[in-house]
């Protein structure tokens, strides 16, 4: 029996103990956004730190201005990985929609016999982070060591804005730096296929206000001669895209890569049903760039979206007003090496170029923006992880993610590390909603997956 096989066997035989430890963590109502639960966040952190210490980690609860971090180190040969998870959970309102106490976890059988772990945090992220901890346990209990060097960081503010995360990463950068990071906070492709998220789109967003007349005007008295800021803003926004759905900003597609053949083949193999995907949201005509598949449009192509617009009279009835100003909130999703600052500058230029000489524009509310994050499809850590997942599940999917995961950006920016995102959650897990669940299969095969991933990483040439 190989070491891996022995560790897998241990995990298999002790799955009920693993479940009980998950339940113990889930019983702690570590709702980070509600100050009333601050002490519970401390309890959850302490529980995890104590457990990691008992597994031989050098573990501690590290206080922050908010809820604490758990930091733990374990020596090992081979590459050094940083595993990130979060122990805090979402609030449980509306409580009346829960079928039972959200903090009294239980196993329930679905109609088809499949078992589910039910309770707040079952999936997001207590269940997912525990798959990793239990895999470490299996290795320690069987081999007495881990196949690679492991640092663990558990956050307690992921569901409430991660205020302390970036300062903490800066302050503890030396301590937390590893060869690459692992995160277990993402989705499977489907119930049979674990997902390896290889790209997250970046974003830059802000607000634009165009101003025309110095005051609201009566459209009867001024209509025609007076510039209407809503008309102007509409034209500016319409011009953001051409007839083929491409964004028209100057230099917008600089740094936008074509997806590799590996990724293209992987995506093709997913058998993604565009019609079903769009049908679920009441649509059937893809709105993005001509000639790009829906998966490319949402995973690998940048986009410009107007997220809000307002101006003039918006109440009941009618007022014949030409307003002094009109507003929109705009965001750009970024891929490849698109630079948030340059994209925003190009947007400002786009607006100014369309502004009549007597109108003005103001830009506001722009955050720092975040570039896209991607893991090269030929990277060693990705290949190792994928090999392990393929061995456990018979297959795996390289998937994109149209949105961002802030911690991945923070790790990239502050620690300079790539992140391999492995997830066993499913879209129907009801995360952030009543009756959150995690399939027992996700938990069970998740632990087994990490046992294998740790072995594969240990077998890599140290980066």
Query: Which stretch in 23-31, 139-147, 202-210, 413-421 sits in contact with its own copies by CB under 8 A?
Result: 202-210
Query: Which stretch in 81-89, 298-306, 370-378, 448-456 sits in contact with its own copies by CB under 8 A?
Result: 298-306
- Nearest-approach distance from CB 153 to its own copies, in angstroms: 24
With binding defined as CB under 8 A, does residue 320 bind its own copies?
yes
Neighbours of 161 (CB within 10 A): 12
Query: Which stretch in 24-32, 56-64, 131-139, 398-406 sits in contact with its own copies by CB under 8 A?
Result: 398-406
Query: Which stretch in 11-19, 188-196, 257-265, 290-298 sits in contact with its own copies by CB under 8 A?
Result: 290-298
With binding defined as CB under 8 A, does residue 309 bind its own copies?
yes
- Among the listed residues 13, 39, 109, 313, the single contact to its own copies using CB under 8 A: 313
For its own copies, the closer of residues 64 and 219 by Cβ is 219
Nearest to 92 by CA among 159, 46, 24, 184: 159
For its own copies, the closer of residues 181 and 326 by Cβ is 326
- Tell me the residue ranges of DSSP E strands in 65-170: 69-74, 80-86, 106-109, 115-118, 149-155
Query: Which stretch in 51-59, 251-259, 287-295, 443-451 sits in contact with its own copies by CB under 8 A?
Result: 287-295
Query: Which stretch in 2-10, 203-211, 261-269, 438-446 sits in contact with its own copies by CB under 8 A?
Result: 203-211
For its own copies, the closer of residues 286 and 380 by Cβ is 286
For its own copies, the closer of residues 17 and 274 by Cβ is 274
- The residues, ordered by sequence, that sit 6+ positions from 5 with a Cβ below 8 Å of its Cβ are none
- Nearest-approach distance from CB 68 to its own copies, in angstroms: 27
Helix (H, G, I), strand (E, B) or coil at 362: strand
Burial pattern 165-182, b for ≥16 Cβ within 10 A else e, equals beebbeebeeebbbbbbb
> How many residues sit in the footprint of its own copies (CB under 8 A)?
79
Helix (H, G, I), strand (E, B) or coil at 403: coil
- The residues, ordered by sequence, that sit 6+ positions from 373 with a Cβ below 8 Å of its Cβ are 199, 200, 202, 404, 405, 408, 409, 412, 419
With binding defined as CB under 8 A, does residue 333 bind its own copies?
yes
Binding mask 223-262 for its own copies (x = CB under 8 A): xxxxxx-xx-xxx-xxxxx---------------------
With binding defined as CB under 8 A, does residue 278 bind its own copies?
yes
- Nearest-approach distance from CB 206 to its own copies, in angstroms: 8
- Nearest-approach distance from CB 358 to its own copies, in angstroms: 4
For its own copies, the closer of residues 326 and 382 by Cβ is 326
Region for 214 from its dihedrals, namely left if φ exceeds 0, alpha if ψ lies in -120 to 50, beta otherwise: alpha
Q: Measured between alpha carbons, how far is 161 from 172 in angstroms, rounded to an integer?
A: 19
Phi, then psi, of 113 in degrees rounded to 5:
90, -15
For its own copies, the closer of residues 13 and 275 by Cβ is 275
Binding mask 362-391 for its own copies (x = CB under 8 A): ---x-x------------------------
Binding mask 149-188 for its own copies (x = CB under 8 A): ----------------------------------------
CA distances from 57 to 64, 87, 150, 411 (A): 21, 18, 9, 22
Q: Measured between alpha carbons, how far is 130 from 374 in angstroms, rounded to an integer?
A: 25
- Nearest-approach distance from CB 278 to its own copies, in angstroms: 7
With binding defined as CB under 8 A, does residue 294 bind its own copies?
yes
- The residues, ordered by sequence, that sit 6+ positions from 161 with a Cβ below 8 Å of its Cβ are none
- Among the listed residues 65, 113, 291, 317, the single contact to its own copies using CB under 8 A: 317
Long-range CB contacts for residues 99-106, cutoff 8 Å, separation at least 24: 99/435, 102/29, 102/434, 102/436, 103/26, 103/27, 103/28, 103/29, 104/27, 105/22, 105/23, 105/26, 105/27
Region for 145 from its dihedrals, namely left if φ exceeds 0, alpha if ψ lies in -120 to 50, beta otherwise: beta
């Amino acid at each position: 029996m190989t070491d891996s096989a022995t560790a897998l066997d241990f995990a298999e035989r002790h799955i009920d103990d693993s479940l009980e430890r998950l339940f113990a963590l889930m019983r702690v109502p570590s709702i980070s956004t509600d100050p009333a639960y601050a002490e519970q966040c401390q309890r959850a952190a302490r529980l995890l730190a104590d457990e990691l210490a008992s597994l031989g980690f050098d573990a501690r609860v590290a206080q922050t201005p908010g809820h604490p971090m758990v930091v733990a180190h374990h020596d090992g040969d081979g590459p050094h990985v940083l595993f990130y998870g979060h122990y805090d959970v979402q609030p449980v309102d509306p409580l009346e929609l829960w079928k039972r106490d959200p903090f009294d976890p239980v196993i329930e059988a679905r109609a088809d016999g499949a078992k589910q772990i039910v309770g707040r945090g079952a999936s997001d992220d207590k269940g997912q982070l525990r798959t990793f901890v239990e895999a470490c346990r299996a290795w320690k209990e069987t081999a007495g060591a881990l196949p690679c060097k492991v640092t663990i960081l558990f956050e307690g503010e992921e569901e409430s804005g991660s205020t302390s995360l970036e300062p903490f990463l800066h302050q503890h950068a030396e301590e937390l730096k590893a060869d690459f990071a692992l995160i277990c906070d993402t989705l499977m492709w489907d119930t049979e296929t674990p997902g390896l998220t290889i790209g997250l789109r970046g974003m830059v967003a802000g607000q634009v206000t165009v101003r025309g007349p110095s005051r609201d005007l009566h459209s009867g008295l001024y209509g025609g001669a007076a510039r209407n800021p809503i008309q102007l803003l509409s034209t500016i926004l319409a011009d953001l895209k051409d007839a083929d759905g491409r964004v028209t900003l100057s230099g917008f597609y600089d740094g936008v890569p074509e997806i590799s053949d590996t990724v293209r083949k992987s995506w093709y193999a997913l058998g993604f049903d565009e019609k079903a995907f769009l049908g679920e949201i009441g649509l059937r005509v893809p709105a993005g760039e001509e000639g790009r598949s829906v998966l490319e449009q949402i995973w690998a192509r940048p986009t410009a979206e107007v997220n809000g617009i307002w101006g003039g009279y918006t109440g009941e009835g009618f007022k014949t007003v030409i307003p002094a100003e009109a507003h929109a909130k705009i965001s750009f999703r970024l891929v490849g090496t698109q630079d948030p600052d340059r994209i925003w500058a190009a947007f400002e230029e786009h607006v100014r170029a369309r502004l009549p000489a007597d109108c003005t524009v103001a830009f506001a509310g722009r955050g720092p923006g975040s570039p896209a994050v991607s893991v090269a499809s030929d990277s060693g850590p990705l290949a190792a992880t994928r090999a392990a997942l393929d061995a456990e599940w018979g297959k795996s999917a390289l998937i994109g993610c149209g949105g961002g995961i802030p911690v991945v950006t923070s790790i990239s920016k502050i620690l300079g590390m790539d992140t391999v995102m492995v997830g066993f959650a499913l879209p129907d897990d009801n995360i952030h909603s009543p009756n959150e669940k995690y399939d027992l299969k996700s938990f069970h095969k998740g632990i087994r997956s990490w046992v294998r991933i740790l072995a594969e990483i240990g077998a890599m040439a140290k980066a």
